[in-house]
Structure 1
């Protein structure tokens, strides 16, 4: 189950559980759509993979034992160890390769 991280790992923007701006890679690295498009160029700085929109976990438990009531979003903020200026060279080598071929 996704941990639903609360922030963008690069700019630290809040990304609550119902945010449509949250993007994740296959390792659940979490970034806002602005950073993914404009800084990361759809390249995860941690694994080199691409991003997809993070699913929204329902607030209400439509089925018993589901939803944020039973499985709340994480409160642990994660921060990228990489600086924005360090990402440019890394992204240049990968950005033109489709995520499914990286």
Structure 2
């Protein structure tokens, strides 16, 4: 089951479970579409992998299977990639 991380690791933007602009790599590193397109150029800075849209979780399942509350933010993780 996906962790559904709550934010972009690069800019710290909130990415709730239904966010349409959340992208993940195969290790579930989570970024917003703006950072993926404009800062990361489609490659994960942590693993070098590609990104795919993060699936959404049905609201009816969030009570039993909540999204992660752990925020991963690396303020310098995206610097120097432009």
TM-score by length of 1: 0.76
The match for 2:36 is 36
Q: Does 1:46 align with 2:46?
A: yes
Q: Any gaps of 5 or more consecutive residues in structure 2?
A: none
Report how many aligned residue pairs link the two structures: 81
Going from structure 1 to structure 2, the CA distance change for 1:21 and 1:83 (only over 3 Å counts) comes to closer
The match for 1:15 is 15
Q: CA offsets per residue over residues 20-70 of structure 1, 9 Å max, x none? A: 01000000000000000010000000000010000000001xxxxxx1111
The match for 2:5 is 5
The match for 2:79 is 84
- Greater fraction helix: 1
Q: Which structure 1 residue ranges, 4+ long, deviate > 6 Å from structure 2?
A: none
Tell me: higher relative CO, structure 1 or 2? Use CA pairs within 8 A at least 6 residues apart: 2
SS at match of 1:13: coil
Q: Which has the larger radius of gyration?
A: 1
TM-score by length of 2: 0.93
